[in-house]
Amino acid sequence: MPESSPALQVEELRVSFLPHGTRGGCRPSIAVRGVSLAVAPRECLGIVGESGSGKTQLFLAALGLLPPRSVATGRVRFEGADILGEPPDRLNLVRGSRVSMIFQDPMTALTPHMRIGAQIAESLVHHAGASWRDAEREALRMLERVSVPEAGRRMRQYPHELSGGLRQRVTIGMSLICGPALLIADEPTTALDVTVQAQIIELLRSMRSEVGMSLVLISHDLAVVGQLAERIAVMYAGRIVECGPARQILHAPRHPYTAGLLACTPDLTRPLAARMPTLGGQPPGPAEEIRGCAFAPRCPRAAERCGVERPQLESRTSAGGAEAAVACHFPLLP
């Protein structure tokens, strides 16, 4: 596979959940309404959106991790192979080794009754056929690399004996032990204190260059994503509404939703306003049928056209060669 081809490529992915029961009027919930994106080798792509925007479901679907009663269609290619809808035994050849995912709550990824060292080593034994002895030695080295203090002692401890920040360091170590090409980190710092959050962001930054992997960083917080991402995609109601170089998204957003979200993002360096900036209203529900632009009911720029005609995500290439896209009839900048 040539170096320039993407590590992960998603085309027209749709994710829906079938309703429970068959009562009339029950409509399927649609979490992702058609998303295409590509993650380049060694790139950090930030995915920003509020709860219900589909940002998590998109990547759970890509890795075949959706719960029952869900349907994912479209195409997902990872390292050149189609993986959407593949059976678990085929997916497990790459999941946990070539591609890993970590979550907001590290306890969901850790087995409560297994020692930390064994949990990290297991992955190497399973995927690389390492002996337990070698694998545990590697696990110890990994704990040191992710800056877990007293790594030798922590190896023998159980997850409940560790703080939230240490647990997240352990899951990061676990996800990196096989040297993945891609790490998907879903709100990895949201449950952590702000001082610990800063440490985990630094850890992800250093591990990313050390391992030479691609990173997808999913968060509701633009300031957090901005710390690491080179490119940012903004999701709203199951679709990407804007995507482009991080600097452009953070300083010259074109979609009114991106601008609104930026204004609401807490930032102590900004002067104090008399009132908190807000976005009125709320996003559409997953079972709601969307006509036109999903953001139109909350948008200060919305016109009649927005209520009837859905804006397409239109890409353009800037003079510098960077690609940017926006789905808006009346973008803030041309």
Chosen residue from 279, 293, 299, 327 binding other proteins by CB under 8 A: 279
If you write DSSP's letter for every residue of 213-252 in order, what string do you get? Answer: -EEEEEES-HHHHHHH-SEEEEEETTEEEEEEEHHHHHHS
Please state the closest distance from residue 134 (CB atom) to other proteins, in A. 37
Assign 305 to helix, strand or coil. helix
**Cα distance between residue 96 and residue 323, in whole Å:** 31
Q: How far is the CB of 202 from other proteins (least distance, A)?
A: 11
Give yes or no for residue 45 binding other proteins (CB under 8 A).
no
Least distance between other proteins and beta carbon 199 (Å): 9
Measure Cα distances from 88 to 15, 61, 66, 84, 199 in Å.
18, 13, 12, 11, 34
For other proteins, the closer of residues 268 and 319 by Cβ is 268
Told to check if 152 binds other proteins by CB under 8 A, we report no
Gyration radius of the chain over CA positions: 21
Q: Which of 64, 256, 260, 286 binds other proteins (CB under 8 A)?
A: 260
Residues 204 and 169: their CA atoms lie apart, in Å, by: 9
| Burial environment of residue 152 by CB neighbours within 10 A (0 to 12, 13 to 18, 19 or more) | exposed
Q: Alpha-carbon distance 326 to 255, whole Å?
A: 6
Q: Give ∠ CA 11-315-251 in degrees, rounded to 5.
A: 115
Of 163 and 312, CB closest to other proteins: 163
Q: Which of 193, 288, 309, 323 binds other proteins (CB under 8 A)?
A: 193
Q: Judging by DSSP bridges, how do beta strands 314-317 and 214-219 pair with one another?
A: unpaired
Contact region with other proteins (CB under 8 A), list: 35-43, 73-81, 187-195, 321-329: 187-195
Interacting span for other proteins (CB under 8 A) from 97-105, 119-127, 191-199, 322-330: 191-199
Binding test (CB under 8 A) with other proteins, winner from 152, 212, 266, 307: 266
Regarding 10 and contact with other proteins (CB under 8 A), the answer is no
- The contact set with other proteins (CB under 8 A) reads 50-51, 164, 193-195, 197-198, 201, 220-224, 226-227, 246, 250-251, 260-262, 264-270, 272, 275-280, 282
